[in-house]
Structure 1
């Protein structure tokens, strides 16, 4: 009585359900181990298809410890530094192809992500590479781990744990990634259509994962395929909405009741019964569609 459809039982149109997606396909793409970068192309491999460069900020949850202007003032060509502990997972800011550069001068271990249309992103001072040269990745795939501890392998000239991020435009000039994102509103994660149709799908879950990454300690990929780690982070987030059960990544009625309490602040007016359905999902989606979770 008054119950909605059970979570996970949705069908029909809307976004693609994560159930049929391969985690390996989403994260890794095709691993293409090759040698050095060929001039004029990505590892000399013609025909690799990339989407238009759509970039988001994977590090919005970390404090900026060195601004773009700080870098220019110190004689650097530019960059943004984010304070984070050694070993933090580094999600790709957009789709592309990986090149690892060990001991890249003052930048130390550097991952370059070759995006579409000649754009590149670089992460510097890494403590660990995770993917082979030539691996095709989607946005949110973990491409390495942060470093920067003084004197540690891969730290370069870093004076403390952090990540350095900059982009390079097709002309070879460094550009501020945060400025790029601001000037390209199509970048970042798209809005979920769940707000209209009440059916959660891949984009919905990507936005949920990114929100949980920023606020609740989620460290997995932004792949739209929720698993135990995603749901454990959701349970942590739901502590603020009355959830008192275990953080075990197993969503039950008490977990979903807390989600409904969150959704009630975003237009959901149904019962708090732990039975998710279209109206519950719509309210949750309105929360997730905020720009700050892009």
Structure 2
């Protein structure tokens, strides 16, 4: 008899990851653009660091609420193949914590203002302790395979991500990102209402693809071969099996409609992008993660 499949997750008794020394935190503070933040003193006012969600292209297998309901201190789990590079969600200083209890190999990124981000169940560390990183730098490799070194209590390949506030409380990183959009963030596209793609729609698409699928061109709202090649790579997860050639045909757009079907599109998957297809796609692109 087959056992029911349980989404990869952390154990209910997951332990808080180890802390950083005062010297390590202060070193992180020195990296802040603008600097001048004093940590650890009563009454200190902490600024909100700029944090992105670099994992928005991956399926969530356990939500924050599900973690808490299972007795965990909280986290977000993303389905991810072992060995996937893990981009830093924000600038800071790296500390590696090998075999961190049920969390397994853990990377901590100490941001400049008292916040920390932690990635759990890693298969490998890639940077030395004390390494300063910019947002987007690879800080480790995902793991989580049952019984593998560094997996801790993981029940399957995935990444666990949570943040810790200056008071030491674990917080939901997705809520944090939604509540603290970066200065100069991209505006929302009106395509969600009009059904007609505009420059902002394409800019948001390019930014999403830069964060998740290797697009390296400009965020100019003028999609070309590089933009569409990245879009085709992204659509591998939505049924596209054709070449990555940057030429969008019906099969490419059918996969985009499949994505849009998770955001309110209820029409046919026919590869013809009409107003309703664009509205659904725009709802996806208007998520705070792509600001």
- Range class of TM-score, shorter chain: 0.5 to 0.7
1:136 aligned to which of 129, 132, 139: 132
1:47 aligns with 2:30: yes
TM-score, length-scaled by structure 2: 0.59
**Shift of residue 41 of structure 1?**
4.3
Name stretches of at least 5 consecutive residues in structure 2 with no aligned partner. Answer: 1-18, 35-47, 191-198, 220-224, 254-271, 276-281
CA deviation vs aligned residue, 1:238-278 (integer Å, no higher than 9, x gap): 99xxxx99636xx7xx67xx99xx9998xxxxxxxxxxxxx
Residue of structure 1 equivalent to 2:265: none
CA deviation vs aligned residue, 1:45-92 (integer Å, no higher than 9, x gap): 763224751122222222222222222233221111112221122122
Residue of structure 2 equivalent to 1:21: none
SS at match of 1:90: strand
CA deviation vs aligned residue, 1:192-219 (integer Å, no higher than 9, x gap): 79x9xx8xxx999544413xx2xxxx2x
TM-score, length-scaled by structure 1: 0.58
Residue of structure 1 equivalent to 2:37: none
Q: Which has the higher relative contact order, 1 or 2, with Cα contacts under 8 A spaced 6 or more apart?
A: 1
Query: Does structure 1 retain, via aligned residues, the 8 Å contact 2:163–2:173?
Result: yes
Q: 1:69-148 residue pairs with structure 2 within 5 A?
A: 69-148=65-144
CA deviation vs aligned residue, 1:85-139 (integer Å, no higher than 9, x gap): 2112212212222111111111111011111210001000001112222222222
SS at match of 2:22: coil
Query: Does structure 1 retain, via aligned residues, the 8 Å contact 2:25–2:114?
Result: no
Calculate the aligned-residue CA RMSD, in Å.
4.5
2:244 aligned to which of 225, 244, 247: 247
Call closer, same or farther: CA 1:90–1:149 in 2, change over 3 Å: same
Q: Distance in 2 between matches of 1:173 and 1:235?
A: 40
Q: Distance in 2 between matches of 1:230 and 1:97?
A: 32
Q: Distance in 2 between matches of 1:124 and 1:89?
A: 13
SS at match of 1:54: coil
Q: Distance in 2 between matches of 1:203 and 1:137?
A: 25
**Shift of residue 149 of structure 1?**
0.6
**Shift of residue 42 of structure 1?**
2.5
Name stretches of at least 5 consecutive residues in structure 1 with no aligned partner. Answer: 1-35, 266-285
Call closer, same or farther: CA 1:158–1:204 in 2, change over 3 Å: closer
Residue of structure 2 equivalent to 1:190: 185
Q: Distance in 1 between matches of 2:29 and 2:51?
A: 23
